[in-house]
């Protein structure tokens, strides 16, 4: 439970830093890529590795 709260707090800080970097020269592709990586990290923390692989296959064949 405490790990989930810590992940949520670090994700809020991370997303706020990403949103401040959006005005820089990175571009929207890099920010969306970072958000996808963050989503995969959240899925790995919240769910098992098997469901993460299933989600990965779902996104590949979407």
pLDDT of residue 37: 80
* pLDDT value at residue 26: 56
Domain containing residue 35: 2-60
Mean pLDDT by 10 residues, the chain (62 residues): 56 62 58 77 69 73 69
Crossing angle (nearest 10°) for helices 2-21 and 28-46: 180
pTM: 0.34
How much is the pLDDT for 59? 74
The CA–CA distances, whole Å, from 8 to 11, 12, 34, 38, 43 equal 5, 6, 16, 11, 12
Please state the domain count of the chain: 1
């Amino acid at each position: 439970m405490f790990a989930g709260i810590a992940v949520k707090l670090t994700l809020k800080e991370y997303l706020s830093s990403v949103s401040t970097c959006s005005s820089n020269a990175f571009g929207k592709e890099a920010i969306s890529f970072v958000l996808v990586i963050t989503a995969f990290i959240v899925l790995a923390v919240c769910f098992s590795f098997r469901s993460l692989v299933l989600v990965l296959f779902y996104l590949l064949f979407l």
